[in-house]
Structure 1
Amino acid sequence: MISTNEYFDGQVKSLGYTTSIGNSTIGVMEPGTYEFGTSTHETMHVIEGEMIVKLPGSTAWLTFKAGASYEIDADEKFQVKVSAHTAYLCQYK
């Protein structure tokens, strides 16, 4: 079954689904700055656009463009800035 998720007053929307390798969401972010929290390990793949990310424990902002990915451990918070519509695939472990 496909679930619908909406965050930050509709600025981030995704569809959740499960495959043989686990749970995933695929979604789009409107331009803005967001803080996310994790409950499981996440691998974020940027499909289109770019994300400027401050990873947990870091003071530096890193840029991830289409085709790049990054990982966040469980029970962490991280910040994301996007300047244009950005599509992503997030896989959970």
Structure 2
Amino acid sequence: MSTALTVNSYFNDQVKSIALENAEGTSTVGVMAVGEYEFGTSQREYMTVVSGSLTVKLPLENEWKTFIKGDLFIVEANQVFQVKVTETTAYLCRYE
């Protein structure tokens, strides 16, 4: 297993994540600066808010929902979801 960490940057460095692989599979740990973002998925994503909060409009949903520290939401593969960030927020994303 490789020990090298991959750092990804999106939206002009407003979102950064570090990818890792371990016994639980592939994950990223990241931080989002204040702003509004749209993400696409290629795998099912389990998103957990680590610090701060994310207001999310999930695929096929009409309402925005706010997730706070410790909350988890799931986005299926090949979907698009929108995120509003009102304070710098850290997250963990596990892929399946």
| TM-score, with length taken from structure 2 | 0.95
Query: What is residue 82 of structure 1 aligned with on the other side?
Result: 85
Equivalence map 1:1-93=2 (5 Å) = 1-93=4-96
Percentage of pairs with the same residue: 47
How many residues end up aligned between the 2 structures? 93
Runs of 4+ in 1 over 3 A off after TM superposition: none
One-letter identity of the residue aligned with 1:62: K
Question: Counterparts of 2:64 and 2:19 in 1: how far apart (Å)?
Answer: 27
Structure 1: stretches of 5+ with no match in the other structure = none
| TM-score (normalizing by structure 1) | 0.98
Partner amino acid for 1:48?
S
Shift of 1:29: 0.3
Per-residue displacement from partner, 1:13-72 (whole Å, max 9, x unpaired)?
010010112100001000000000000000000000000000001110001000101000
Looking at structure 2, the residues matched to 82 and 9 of structure 1 have their Cα atoms a distance apart, in angstroms, of 15
